[in-house]
């Protein structure tokens, strides 16, 4: 019996959100919250069952139908190494649509359909590219349970975290690597690649930052179209993630900012240049923070950068009254904060000092935020990336 669990973290954008769309650098960091996936094979079963807690749904794949799909794909595209995954995604969409049409009952919700396509696509991709068995099929059923601490659509990389966890499980199942070798560079690159493919199902044209940071961990400097560099940080930062409980559409917000940039091109370009300089100023602070030399001064500089970054984001109109309430509560208590991601809702980050738990003012801050109706999560930014571990009965 094969059984293991995968923990895939979520992410926050520390600096550079929105500017990253215009080829300026952004800093993204993993957070201590994430997605937990458990996989167990089931002897005698011919069904792959997926229990998705965050979406409150269960998806099932009959192995006979899945293996038949693999056979048809191999016949239609003999020798295809899946260098171009568009063909596979197209075939999977058609197959899933057929299966959903045949199933009895009401049409699943859109997010359930996307989840089904993503699962089918990643599983098919992992099996079709299996390094040792070019004609591999699945002969034993298995059960997958996915739980997430990340709110869907809130800017914490929930879909990339989910995609990275699924990709890891399927790649292990198909023999690409095992629980002891997944951290090798080529294997992490493979996980990140398929997590990006999952992001394509959910978002169409993802930037690549979410799947990368969720896989590798730490803090990454990312420029769209130019890849990423890992910062050599000494230790993770303590942060408070505050959920405004305001949902929003990232695509709509990005479109509004684009319209503003078209209306005032020189002014908005100056803001993007400021964001670029801010990232350049932040990188050495993050890399040296935690080496015990002048940490208090570095922390104060990071606080100021948080404030400047937040003011730049306010200038492009992506704040919200609920976010402003969070900023006011934090500032009143002496803490510095900023929105993260698209803004206009979602989460805010509050920077926490070392030994914050011994600080009475911190507890008052937390209490006041909770009393105002906000979701509050104490966590870290810049910790470990994806991890696989054994699963006990």
Active site residues: 159, 210
With a CB cutoff of 8 Å and minimum separation 6, the contacts of 345 are: 244, 246, 247, 248, 320, 322, 323
With a CB cutoff of 8 Å and minimum separation 6, the contacts of 28 are: 11, 12, 13, 14, 209, 210, 212, 213, 219, 220, 222
In whole angstroms, give the CA distance from residue 86 to residue 92: 10
Hey, how many other C-beta atoms are within 10 angstroms of the C-beta on 12?
Answer: 27
Alpha helices per DSSP H over 235-291: 250-263, 265-288
Structure tokens at 354: 């070392």
Beta bridge partners of 241: 349, 377
Buried b (16+ CB within 10 A) or exposed e, 314-330: bebebbbebbebbbebb
């Amino acid at each position: 019996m094969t059984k293991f669990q995968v923990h895939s973290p979520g992410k926050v954008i520390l600096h550079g959100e929105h500017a990253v769309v215009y080829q300026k650098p952004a800093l993204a960091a993993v957070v201590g919250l994430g997605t937990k996936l458990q996989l167990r094979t089931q002897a005698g079963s011919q069904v792959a069952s997926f229990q998705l807690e965050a979406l409150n749904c269960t998806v099932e794949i009959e192995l006979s139908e899945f293996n038949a799909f693999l056979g048809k794909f191999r016949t239609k595209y003999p020798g295809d190494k899946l260098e171009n995954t568009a063909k596979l995604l197209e075939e999977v969409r058609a197959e899933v649509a057929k299966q959903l049409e045949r199933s009895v009952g009401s049409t699943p919700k859109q997010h359930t359909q996307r989840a089904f396509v993503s699962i089918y696509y990643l599983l098919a991709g992992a099996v079709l590219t299996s390094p040792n068995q070019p004609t591999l099929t699945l002969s034993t059923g298995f059960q997958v349970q996915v739980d997430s601490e990340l709110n869907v659509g809130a800017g914490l990389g929930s879909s990339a975290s989910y995609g990275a966890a699924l990709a890891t499980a399927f790649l292990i199942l198909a023999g690409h690597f095992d629980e002891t070798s997944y951290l090798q560079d080529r294997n992490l690159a493979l996980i990140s690649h398929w997590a990006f493919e999952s992001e394509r199902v959910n978002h169409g044209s993802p930037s690549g930052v979410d799947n990368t940071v969720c896989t590798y961990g730490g803090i990454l400097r990312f420029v769209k179209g130019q890849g990423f560099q890992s910062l050599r940080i000494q230790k993770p930062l303590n942060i408070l993630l505050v959920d405004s409980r305001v949902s929003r559409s990232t695509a709509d917000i990005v479109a509004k900012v684009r319209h503003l940039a078209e209306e005032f091109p020189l002014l908005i370009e100056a803001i993007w240049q400021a964001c670029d300089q801010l990232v350049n100023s932040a990188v050495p602070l993050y890399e040296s923070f935690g080496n015990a030399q002048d940490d208090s001064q570095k922390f104060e500089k990071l606080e100021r950068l948080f404030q400047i970054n937040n003011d730049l984001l306010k200038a492009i109109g992506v704040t919200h009254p609920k976010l402003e309430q969070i900023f006011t509560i934090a500032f009143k208590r002496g803490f510095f904060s900023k929105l993260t991601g698209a803004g206009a809702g979602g989460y805010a980050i509050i920077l926490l000092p070392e030994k914050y738990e011994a600080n009475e003012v911190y507890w008052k801050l937390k209490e006041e935020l909770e009393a105002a109706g906000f979701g509050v999560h104490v966590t870290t930014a810049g910790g470990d990336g994806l991890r696989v571990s054994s699963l006990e009965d």
